[in-house]
Structure 1
Amino acid sequence: MSMKMFKNIDLSEATRLTRAGRLKEALAALKGALPGGAPDAAPATHAPDLGAAAKGLLHGLTQRLGGLEGLFEHGPKPAPFVPGDARFEARVHAGAAGSRTYKLYIPSGYRGKPVALLVMLHGCSQSPDDFARGTRMNELAEEQTFLVAYPAQPRSANMSKCWNWFNAADQQRGQGEPSLIAGIAHEVMAEFSVDPKRVYVAGLSAGGAAAAVLGATYPDLFKGIGVHSGLACGAARDMPSGFIAMKTGAPAPGRGTAVPTIVFHGDGDTTVHPVNGDHVIAQAKAAADLRARSERGVSSGGIRYTRTVHMDASGRPAHEQWVLHGAGHAWSGGDPSGSFTEPRGPDASREMMRFFRERSA
């Protein structure tokens, strides 16, 4: 199927409509440019029979538009991984800055002995269940026996369900969203046996940027942060500067004590400019004099990558950066049943937990 068949797609218009919350119109704009599509047709609840090439293009377009791909899927999403005696509980945390619901994965191997806690922050348009599916973090928690908390951002806080990493008020300790997310971690630690030296936070896109904020504002709580396709804390102060940072990159100042940081970012990312991954690492390195060692590799799925380890004077790894060559705005090594995943890439979930474990040893 020739790419000429898709020449009428106006991605900028579809993006504008999506950001305005006019999803049906954005979807119609996409459909009208595809073979057999009609601009005024009602949105389909499953993928039209376009052939493999068209479906592939459509998937890429909808990933860029922030979550419309769910309108094309056959039937309901599969349930997140919860085997045997494991639990995946819906909970609510309330604090001075408001409240947030969250899901907590408790592996079947938890017996009351101290374990690690990982807080996972989803990207825009995602949910805890979607993020758990896409990252396969529940499966890893079951294998390695650690707790995973998935806070949920409601539309009442952000119409696209993005964490408000770009707001100055949500970049401060004891205020806004950082206080709520930290509060969720403290709440889990109060109920379960958690090793305080093994509490981590990671996220994708807006969630990755929020994880960077948590590392900067609560370095005493979070002992490691994972930033996938995100931005540095302080890269923006409001929504307009947030869009600029996403598109062109914005350096951010150092924030004192640096929490061990692992970064994943595709150099083909057109949603959050890849240079932002460099800025996250630069911010983390600002507090110390480090030397770097890089290596190249290819994942089992064929994605080339460059892995750079930043080490202190004793040779101990302090931070780690993975640049995924040709990859876009998606969780590397993720499950395709979740949104914004790149199944062919190295397993970001497993590599993050390996990094955290090594740093806490």
Structure 2
Amino acid sequence: MNPKLAEATRLTREGRLSEAMALIRDTVSGAPAAPHIDPDVIDLAPPGAPSQPWSLRPAAKPRPKAKPRAPETPGRFTSHSFSAPQGRRSYKLYVPQGHDGPLPLVVMLHGCTQTPDDFAAGTRMNALAEEIGFVAVWPEQPQSANMQRCWNWFNTGDQQRGQGEPALIAGITREVMAAHNIDPARVYVAGLSAGGAAAAIMGACYPELYAAIGVHSGLAQGAATSVASAFQAMRQGGSGGPAQAMPAIVFHGDRDATVSPVNGAQVLAQFTPPADPTLKPRTETGASPGGMGFTRIVHEDAKGQPRAEHWLLHGAGHAWSGGSPAGSYTAPEGPDASREMLRFFLAQPAA
């Protein structure tokens, strides 16, 4: 089937008839769909495409996508499934050895085309779980929900509490909390790209469940309400939902050609109300051991405790900063986003 007609079929099944008809008309006429863009991948470059360079020197040759490996740690990385009225999702769970509970919990949401194993290999979050002592859970988006395994952050039904994917992710979180010795005041959610946008949605919809969020190369909750507006938000940013106070740490490359860096600033603004007089920003610059420069804006409370952070990665594209080449969409030369997120999270227990 013609890819555009296949997409029109999918839109029809979702009840989005006006978008489907517009796509069919454009396909028949031969004219490009406007403002529609071929949604083969909603937010990550197709596998094998060269990533954006993260320094001013020439970009290295694209790496072949490595096969995801099991974590090289002594803990348990096991497969599970969760079902609810909203649907069913599989997930992977990493439980470290040798750590007394109650333990923190970190929910990790992968990007398009990725899997929990791939995302775990790239972020090395399971190794940090073993080192620091926390449980990591990796929900999986199946192709039956999105052909490119993207979390559907741009659908209104997947942006609201008690509905769609937010309800499923929250259900997985609660299931793990009930089955393991988890500290309910130290539960966090993070993600990359589509997963980063989904993490923002979870923070907005379930502020009582998550103590802090981490958004890498993502978008604000409510930045888009359709496929067409998703591409517009990725290029230009989106207004998002109302501001609400929640600890948030954001990473974004300033040469991200897939999700514009303006989105990172909008995520931070969504969770850092400008009228909050208790927060004072300070700015610092630096470079990672691998040579990637960054600007870090930290919003501190009256006690000097960081409550929000924005890392703008200079020269970086659409990839997890400081990640491992064992996973896809990583920028190994950047600051270690995984370790920085954990540092920020563990300083942010729920009130």
TM-score using structure 1 length: 0.79
AA partner of residue 318 (structure 1): R
The Cα of 1:20 is off from its aligned counterpart by 4.2
The Cα of 1:55 is off from its aligned counterpart by 9.7
CA gap 1:27/1:162 in 2 versus in 1, 3 angstroms = closer
The Cα of 1:82 is off from its aligned counterpart by 4.3
Q: How does 1:191-230 map to 2 (within 5 A)?
A: 191-230=179-218
Contact 1:165 1:171 in 2 (8 A): yes
Question: 230, 241, 257: which is aligned to 1:253?
Answer: 241
- Uncovered stretches (5+) of structure 1, i.e. residues with no partner: 1-15, 31-52, 60-68
The Cα of 1:80 is off from its aligned counterpart by 2.4
Secondary structure at the aligned position of 2:348 is classed as helix
2:322 equivalent in structure 1: 333
Distance 2:71 2:40 in 1: 34
- Uncovered stretches (5+) of structure 2, i.e. residues with no partner: 1-35, 50-56
Question: 113, 116, 129: which is aligned to 2:104?
Answer: 116
Higher helix content, 1 or 2? 1
Distance 1:140 1:272 in 2: 27
Query: How many residues in Structure 1 have an aligned counterpart in Structure 2?
Result: 303
Contact 1:173 1:218 in 2 (8 A): yes
Question: 311, 333, 336: which is aligned to 1:344?
Answer: 333
Contact 1:251 1:276 in 2 (8 A): no
Distance 2:231 2:217 in 1: 14
Distance 1:129 1:357 in 2: 24
Larger RCO: 1 or 2 (CA < 8 Å, sep 6+): 2
Distance 2:286 2:79 in 1: 39
1:175 equivalent in structure 2: 163
Question: 217, 225, 231: which is aligned to 1:243?
Answer: 231
CA displacement 1:204-253 (0-9 Å, x = unmatched): 00000000000000000000100000000010111111110011111223
Secondary structure at the aligned position of 1:360 is classed as coil
CA gap 1:55/1:107 in 2 versus in 1, 3 angstroms = same
CA gap 1:96/1:110 in 2 versus in 1, 3 angstroms = farther
CA displacement 1:148-197 (0-9 Å, x = unmatched): 00000001101110000111111110110000000001000001010011
Structure 2 residue 270 is the aligned partner of structure 1 residue 283: yes
Question: 62, 75, 84: which is aligned to 1:95?
Answer: 84
The Cα of 1:98 is off from its aligned counterpart by 0.3
AA partner of residue 228 (structure 1): H
AA partner of residue 101 (structure 1): S
CA gap 1:356/1:54 in 2 versus in 1, 3 angstroms = closer
CA gap 1:54/1:253 in 2 versus in 1, 3 angstroms = closer
**Root-mean-square deviation over aligned CA pairs:** 2.5
